[in-house]
Structure 1
Amino acid sequence: MPILLIVVSVVLQACADGYLSGRLEFGDSLLFSCLAFVAATVLFGSLCLIRRARQGARPDRGAEQRGTVRKLIVLMNLATAVTFLGFFSALAWVPAALATSVQSGIGPLAVVCIALIRRESAPAAGRLAGALGLLGLSVLIAVRLNPEPGALSLPMVGGTLLVAVSGVSAALLARISRQLGAAGADPLWVTANRFHFTYLAAGALLLARGGVGGTGGADRIPLPLMALTALAAVALPLFLLQVGLQRAEPLLAMALLSTLPGITYLSQTVFGGPLDPVACALIGLLVLLAAACARQARTAAPARRVAAPA
Structure 2
Amino acid sequence: MVSMKDISLKCGVSVATVSKALNNHSDIGESTKEYIKKTAKEMGYFPNSSARALKTNRTYNIGVLFVDEAQSGLTHEYFSHVLDSFKVTAEQNGYDITFISRHNVRNSMSYLEHSRYRGVDGVVIACVDFHDSEVIELVSSELPVVTIDYTFNNRIAVISDNIKGMKDLITYIYDMGHRKIAYIHGADSAVTQNRVGSYYKTLESLGIAVPDEYVKEGIYHDTESSAILTRELLNLKERPTCIIYPDDFSCIGGINIIKEKGLKIPEDISVVGYDGLRLSQVLDPKLTTLKQDTKSLGMLAAEKLIHLIEKPKTAVIERIVVEGEVLKGGSVSKIG
Structure showing greater radius of gyration is 2
**Which structure has the highest helix share of the two?**
1
Indicate the structure whose relative CO is greater, using CA pairs within 8 Å and at least 6 residues apart: 1
TM-score (norm 1): 0.27
Structure that is richer in strand per residue: 2
